[in-house]
Structure formats: structure tokens, C-alpha cells
Chains A and B, each alone.
Chain A
Amino acid sequence: MKSESTPTRKAPTAPLKNEKSVNITIVGVGNEFRGDDGAGILAVRMLKEKVPADVRTAELAGDQSGLLELMRSSDALVIIDAVRSSAAAGTIFRVDASEDPMPEHFFSFSTHAFDSAHAVELARTLKLLPRRVIFYGIVGKEFSYSSGLTQEVTESVNLIQTNIQNEIKAALQREAPVEDDA
């Protein structure tokens, strides 16, 4: 199932606390020196200050087989990547990869030889997928060598912050060990 959404603007949420010892990782994927391809990297840098200190943040460029290593060591993983699409620049795609396979057309979006969609599906095949994997794809416009994001993608990187914080909250609730009252 592919879901497509354009997040609404919300006030920043209060800092989150991870008191449940859940291994959560947020990873930004892309090359910050290739225009909008850096969207995931810059999004994760901004999130660093907004998520509990023990929520791991990571950056990956080049090929994405490194995602499999992050999956081995995470209960929940949020992946933020730039994608190519006929949709408007800045459009945000959200895929719950723990529930659904990565959409077919995502495999050709990435400029990477072994892209994040391949990494997710390879992990599923090898039974390495964590319990929860959420993929955010931001549609980019300009992927040539340059130093910054386009305006549309910058806005989406800002908008996505609240969504990811909510994902972390939800992951903490879902992944928390169930209290046994008996």
C-alpha cells in the first residue's frame, strides 16, 4: 500500500523521552552534495535535537546496504530518503514497510545502485527487518552537484519533523514491553 500525504503545519511538540529502552533509529539517506538528494541527511540532522538522546540518528550515503546493519540493531527504524517521481517536488510519501512491501516504482527512484527500497526488501527476505520500519520519501527536483535543497524540498524537510516525532512517540508506545499485572 502506498500512502501519499502532504503533512499539515503543526506547532513543535515538546521534547520526547524514551524511558522504555527501545532501540529506535532514524536514518537519513542521500548525498548532501547533490542538491535535493541531501533531503534525508538534512532532515535527520534537524531531528537530532528533537528526539530523545537514546534515539539513534544515522546518515548514509552511497549504496544503502548499510541500512541492513542498522536494521539488525533496531527495534524500530525510520528511513528518510529523497525520491524521484512524477509527483510535485516536495511531495512526501510515507510507507509502513513493516506492513507492506515497498512500492514497485520506488526501486527506480533512487540514484543509488543499491537503494533504500532494495535494502528494505532484502532485509525482509533475509528476515532482518525490525518490527517496525517506516519509510519517508521526499520528492526531489534537482539532483545535480550543488550545495543546497530546493525551496520545495526545504519546506518538506521542515514539515516532516513533526511527523517523525510522532512516529517516534508511536514506536515507543508500540514497542514498550507490556506490563504484566498478574
Chain B
Amino acid sequence: MKNKQARTIKVDYLARVEGEGALKVKMKDGRVDDVKFRIFEPPRFFEAFLRGRKYSEAPDITARICGICPIAYQMSSVHAMENAFGVRVDGQLRELRRLIYCGEWIESHALHVYMLHAPDFLGYEDAIQLAKDHPDAVQRGLRLKKTGNDLVTILAGREIHPINVKVGGFYKLPAKKDFVEILERLKRARDEAYETVLWTASLPFPEFEYDYEFVSLSHPGEYPFNEGRLISNKGLNIDIREYELIFHETHAYYTNALQSEMKGKGAYLVGPLARFNLNFEKLSPLAQKAAREANAVPPIKNPFKSIVARAVEALYACDEAIRIIENYEQPEKAAVDYSVRPGFGFGCTEAPRGILYHRYLVGEDGAIRDAKIVPPTSQNQKMIETDLRNFVTANIEMPKQELTLRCEQVVRNYDPCISCATHFLKLEIS
């Protein structure tokens, strides 16, 4: 019998993921024998690079780790430093931080939904082929993404490697008039994001569910971006300072990236699906309405439906950005005053792909003595392997070519940012 033979599904270069990775699934005697999700970019050693650098350099240095989500790195680092110094950033400065995060979520989610993930569901090799039959959808995605890019540029000074974020606030504040044009575009983007939610919900989803432990930030008053406690659907509820008591990283020999797991439990899932399931009631009424209209209500346990959660979050980010801009009054000062003090600082914010944890030890002189950065893709790696094992096991009879494509799709459900995870990825299925 065919499926009794040893088969290997192997994808040497995973397309449509940020960075480089590979997947290998070995099947033997009708069952999955081995799964390896590898990240093989060279190690990046940002943590070592930070040692000895001034605390104030952390936001700009860490922003260089990822070309897709530099704001997330800046946010986690400034929050960690402010935590170390006992600084609290509130009012309009805090709102501006949420606003800049809205921009990053819109651009990152639009890119992934339309350019990277949607082709999988509709049977296209890539966005180019998708655009031949669905030009209006792709154009919609591009407009949405550009709105996010432009919002980030207003606040960050520039879209890539932003330079305007600092410990305590910003270097330079936007004036109310700076938002006039983007506000109108955000209103159009919000309409298109609503359409996006309904469009993603209409895609054909493979039958697949798993009883995940979803982990995300949770804040009593808002959908989480910058702050909150770490919670899960299985009882986790901790201060971010306790992160390393619960989670740890291991190094698998076949991958450059460290893999995170919950001590004594194993794999867990971070990102849009976790945030959506754990914080649904904190979404704006409009985002909740769109989700309900799309028949997407928590708990969603099918990881392929992460594309719908991502679309709902893009809608929320447009809605939230509009709210913040309409209420914006330029503060007198661009940053709050603070004094450097030695000690540990902890930051955990919601990058587009999930929680991004930073921990620093700062010395008397303001120099960074030690740094730890755990990106979302490192945290999802083990879950991706678990999904691959379970999906292939459930679909062992599927023809190899189709199974290979589906396995790639399983990986892309997580929008893995391999560049970030590389402290070390590639796809083979055998």
C-alpha cells in the first residue's frame, strides 16, 4: 500500500515567509515519523551586540532586527527601559504609541493577508497569479498596506528603521494638522478593512482544529498593544516580569533559532488568533460586528482561520487609529523626564505576529549589561511543528504535491518572521 512506504515531503525554501526557512516531514508506515521546522539564517546575536551599549540605543538597535515590524522592537525596548527606571508614560504620549502600533499592524497584516497567505487558499502560486484573476482584491490590499506605512512614517520619522521613538516618549511630536490627510485615508481604509474581513471569511478553509494554549497580553481597558498581563485560555495569568519563570527557550540541533515552550507544558500559540480569542470583547464595536457578520467568534481553533483574525485586527487598528487621531491634542512635551537607575527592566508588547518579550539589565552608568529578546516566531516554532505533525497525520492519504502545499500553508498560518527568530529557518516534507 502506497502510504505504507516511506515518504518525505520537503520544501527547501519556504516562500512567502519573511527570511529563510525549511520544513521537513518524514512519514513511515502510514504515520508521521519526524517533523523539523528549521530556521537557517545565520545567528544574529543582537543580544550580545546590545551589551555595553547605552540604554537609549536599544530602541534603534533592536528596530533593525526586523524590516517588517521595527515598531514592535522599539516598543518592547522602551517599555523595558521605562520599567527599569520606574517611568510611566501616559496620556497623549501613550495614545501615540498605540497609534504607531496601529500603523504597523495595518501594514503587516495587509501584506500577509493579501500578498502572502490568500494565494494559498485560492490555489495560486503567489500574489502575482492571484492578481491576474483578482486584481481588485490585490489593489485593495496594497492600498490598505500603504495607509499603514504612511501612518508609521508620520509618527516614526520614516517607515523603515524608524528613528522617532525614545525612552520616555518621542523625539518630535506630530501636530494635529499632520493627521488631516491620513485621517481621511484611514476612514477609507476602515471600509476596505471591513470588506477584507468578509473576503477572508469566504475563503475555503481546510478542516483542522487543535486544542491550543493561546497566550497573549490582556489589558482591562483595551485590546492589547503595549501593556497588560500575560494570560492564556488554560489558566495562565502573570505579570510580564514572571515570563521567564513560565517560558524557556531550548536549542534544537537542526535549527538556528531558539524554540520557546511553556515549562512542563510545551508548545503554545501567540499572535492574532490568540489575541482575538482572548480579547474579543475588547475589540471595537465595529470590529466585533464585522467578525460576527463573518461568522468568526471565539474560540476559533482552526489555525487556517488566523487570516480572518488578522483581517479583524487590521479593521480594529484602522478604527482605533481614527479614534486616537480624532481625540489628539499635541502634548507640551515630547517625552517625560526620568532618571536612569540600575536594575532589571521588562517589556512585552504585541507585535503583529504575537508577544515580543525584552528583558534588560542596566548598570549605574546606563550601559546595558545583559539583554534577552524573545520574538514571536521563536515562540510559535514548536506549535508550528506540532501543527505540521497533526495536519499530516490527519491527511496522510493526501497526494504528496497537495500535502506539501498544505504544509507550507500551515507554516504561513503563523506569518513567521524568520529574520526575527534568527538568533536562527527552511521547509522539507519527506
Tell whether A122 is near chain B: CB-to-CB under 8 Å: yes
- 4 new A-B pairs (CB below 8 Å) besides A126-B131, A143-B41, A144-B41? A62-B68, A114-B115, A125-B135, A145-B45
A121 to B419, CA, bound (A): 24
> Which residues of A are found within 8 Å of B13, using beta-carbon distances?
108
* Interface check B334, CB cutoff 8 A: no
Residues 16-60 (chain B) with a chain A CB within 8 angstroms: 16-20, 41-46, 49
* Interface size counted on chain A using CB atoms at 8 A: 25
A159 — which chain B residues lie within 8 A by C-beta?
Answer: none
- A78 and B121 alpha carbons, distance in the complex (Å): 34
Known: A111-B419, A125-B135. Contact between A68 and B142, CB under 8 A?
A: yes
Q: Does B370 contact A (CB under 8 A)?
A: no
A59 touching B160 in the complex, CB below 8 Å, given contacts A114-B116, A122-B138: yes
Q: Which of A63, A111, A126 contacts B20 (CB 8 A)?
A: A111
Interface size on B, as a range, is 35 or more
Q: How far is the CA of A172 from the CA of B145 in the complex (A)?
A: 32
5 shortest A-B CB distances, which residue pairs?
A62-B67, A144-B42, A61-B160, A113-B18, A125-B131
B145 contacts which chain A residues (CB < 8 A)? 65
Nearest Cβ distance between residue B73 and chain A, in whole angstroms? 12
For A144, the chain B residues whose CB sits under 8 A away are: 41-44
Of A33, A60, A107, most B-chain CB atoms within 10 Å: A33
Residues on B close to A: CB < 8 A? Answer: 13, 15-20, 41-46, 49, 64, 66-68, 111, 115-116, 126-128, 131-132, 135, 138-139, 142, 145-146, 149, 159-161, 419
Contact of B64 with A122 in the complex, beta carbons under 8 Å: no
Q: Which residues from chain B contact A125 at a C-beta distance below 8 Å?
A: 128, 131-132, 135
Shortest distance between the CB of A90 and any CB in chain B (Å): 20
Q: Once the chains bind, are B149 and A66 in contact (CB under 8 Å)? A: yes
> A65–B107 Cα gap in the complex (Å)?
10
In the bound complex, CA of A65 to CA of B147 (Å): 12
Instruction: Tell me which of A33, A69, A114, A126 contacts B64 (CB under 8 A).
Output: A33
CA distance A60 to B68 in the complex (A): 11
CA distance A154 to B314 in the complex (A): 41
For this complex, 17 residue pairs linking A to B, each with C-beta atoms less than 8 Å apart, are A33-B161, A60-B160, A63-B18, A63-B67, A66-B159, A69-B146, A107-B15, A113-B68, A114-B115, A114-B116, A122-B131, A125-B128, A126-B135, A144-B41, A145-B44, A145-B45, A145-B46
B134, chain A: closest CB distance, angstroms = 11
B275 to chain A, nearest CB (A): 21
Q: Are A126 and B138 in contact (CB under 8 A)?
A: yes
Contact residues in A for B20 (Cβ distance below 8 Å): 111
- A121 and B111 contact, CB distance less than 8 A: no
CB 8 Å contact bits of A86-110 with B (1 = contact, 0 = none)? 0000000000000000000001100
Of B15, B66, B128, B139, most buried by chain A (CB within 10 Å of CB) is B128
Asked if A50 CB lies within 8 Å of chain B CBs, one says no
Is the Cβ of A63 less than 8 Å from the Cβ of B44? no
- Report the minimal beta-carbon distance from B185 to chain A, rounded to whole angstroms: 13
Judge whether A114 and B111 touch: CB under 8 Å: yes
Contact residues in B for A143 (Cβ distance below 8 Å): 41-42
The complex places the Cα of A96 from the Cα of B380 at a distance, in Å, of 41
The answer to whether the Cβ of A141 comes within 8 Å of any Cβ in the partner chain is no
Residues of A within 8 A of B42 (CB): 143-144
